[in-house]
Amino acid sequence: MDTVYIETSIVSYMRQRPSAQVVLAARQLLTYQWWNDERSNYQLVASQLVIDEASAGDPSLAAERLQLLAGLPLLQLDPVIADIADEIMSRAILP
């Protein structure tokens, strides 16, 4: 079974109010469909960084995001991961 890393935007899209912006609304819809229809085909993993990000913001939405992440195995943090995350953020690769 393939492994999929669940990063923060996935659980954020799942718990945001539907967007009026077409592109964002499409991302939300596709994420919701994948979560409901496809995730069982993969071993899902996350990291403590995702837990920390999902915990921030509105307490009610944070609780919902954390509920989606509950029970997922967490990857061990490696210093290289922080470098990769910094590079992703500096290049704006993820929305």
pTM as predicted? 0.79
Q: Pick out the chain residues at pLDDT < 50.
A: none
Enter the tokens of residue 22. 């077409």
On the 0-12 / 13-18 / 19+ scale of CB atoms within 10 A, 26 is exposed
